[in-house]
Amino acid sequence: MKKKFFYLDLVKVIAIYLVLFAHSNTYGTKLYTLVLGQKIYFFYLWMDCIRTINNPLFFMVSGALLLKPENDSDNGASMYRLVKKISKYFVVLVVFSFIQYAYKISIGSIEKTGIVYFLKYIYSTPIHFSYWFIYAYLGYLIMLPFTRKIACGLSKLQFQYLIFIMILFMYALPLFQISAGMGGINISLYINTYTCSVFPIIGCYLHNHMDEVIFDKKWKIYGLVVLAVAGSCVAAGLTHFEMVRNGKYTENYITYFNMLTAMAIFCICYKLSYFLERKKFILKLISTISSCAFGIYLLENIIEDVFSKKIYEFVPVYWPRFTVCVIYMTLTVAIGTFIVWLLKKVPVVGKLF
């Protein structure tokens, strides 16, 4: 296993844990709403801000793997592979949306039935709320040839400019407007800062230039980590102060500076892979979970309803809630990995993962 690709497996494992955490509601990610005034409050609130890097991390991994230079002579084969990949994810969307549709009918959360209703539903709306990622990923794949041209030709100065405009328009201007009493960002200038547009480019550039951009000087990675922690604390503080002002929690600010956090985790995983290269069991475990991460994401709610949530019937009530949530997520990952690993052995079905 190549070292520089192992760290991408590690990033995916962290990302799938954060996806599960993001969907845990008051079992985990929204625990802070239950402990206002307690010492642990700000830690829970901070963790809710940290979990917002889950999808950016997945897009960064995708950018690292897919945004590679293509030879002009290979254009035909490259486009064929792309169309094949788009077709695969379209099939995945339809098949697993139907599985979710059947499951929701079985538990009584959807009353209308029929293939026409189902097709109209998934045409305009994800059948399961987390499936927005598949729609976004399909959009990313459709635009891949153009994104690849941008990413592969990016210079160091252009990369720095990209990070600068992201910080300026996503974080600095909104903070200025908040401090000036103007609310969120409302400048009449369209800047494309979508997760599926920018984060793959960042992932691609870091993957190919990590040593020369981040690890050429020690202060850079330390500075990035400090900025990431500070930025997530700012996001937590803004979320808290908005609750104090308006009397309710929103997610208006929890993604503030999550680009810096995602970059820090991405770079730390790269460095960590050097220390884990001789830990064969750990490498194999992380690689296995990583290969099943997409399947876990597709089936997570069913796995949790059938298996994982039952843990709350057995754990003592005095156990820390966050600890129980970590056990709950690990159980979901373990069961999900086993189920997806088995499904991947089935002809045709295995190709969907």
Q: Which of 303, 320, 240 is nearest to 28 (CA)?
A: 320
Mean pLDDT on 18-37: 88
Q: Nearest 10 degrees: CA dihedral of 203, 209, 212, 214?
A: 10
Helix (H, G, I), strand (E, B) or coil at 277: coil
3 pLDDT exceeds 60? no
Helix (H, G, I), strand (E, B) or coil at 278: coil
Residues 6+ apart with CB under 8 A from 236: 42, 45, 46, 48, 49, 254
Task: Read off the pLDDT of residues 248-283 as tens digits, 9 standing for 90 and up.
Answer: 888 888 988 999 999 999 999 999 988 888 888 999
Residues 6+ apart with CB under 8 A from 228: 257, 260, 261, 263, 264, 265
CA distance to 169, 240, 296, per residue, from 194 (Å): 12, 25, 24
Name the residue with tokens 């996806």.
Answer: 19
Report the pLDDT value the prediction gives residue 191, as an integer from 0 to 100: 61
Q: Which of 205, 328, 269 is nearest to 5 (CA)?
A: 269
Mean pLDDT on 41-59: 94
CB contact at 8 A, 297 and 130: yes
Angle of helix 3-22 relative to helix 258-276, nearest 10 degrees, comes to: 130
CA 271 to chain centre: 20
CB-CB neighbours of 339 under 10 Å: 17
Q: What rounded mean pLDDT belongs to the chain?
A: 88
Task: Read off the pLDDT of residues 129-179 as tens digits, 9 standing for 90 and up.
Answer: 889 999 999 999 999 999 998 998 899 999 999 999 888 888 888 888 877
Report the pLDDT value the prediction gives residue 189, as an integer from 0 to 100: 58
Residues 6+ apart with CB under 8 A from 232: 46, 49, 50, 257, 258, 261
Mean pLDDT on 324-342: 93
Integer Cα distance of 261 and 309 in angstroms: 29
CB contact at 8 A, 273 and 3: yes
DSSP 161-202: HHHHHHIIIIIIHHHHHHHTT--S---S------HHHHHHHH
Report the pLDDT value the prediction gives residue 62, as an integer from 0 to 100: 95
User: Would you give the DSSP letter of residue 128?
Assistant: S
What is the number of residues in the chain? 353
**Burial call 136-155: b when 16+ CB within 10 Å, e when fewer:** bbbebbeebeebbebbeebe
Handedness of CA 347, 348, 349, 353 (dihedral sign): positive
Q: Which of 272, 240, 270, 280 is nearest to 256 (CA)?
A: 240
Name the residue with tokens 């959009």.
Answer: 139
Residue 1 pLDDT level (bands cut at 50, 70, 90): very low
The model's pTM: 0.91
Handedness of CA 52, 322, 292, 13 (dihedral sign): positive
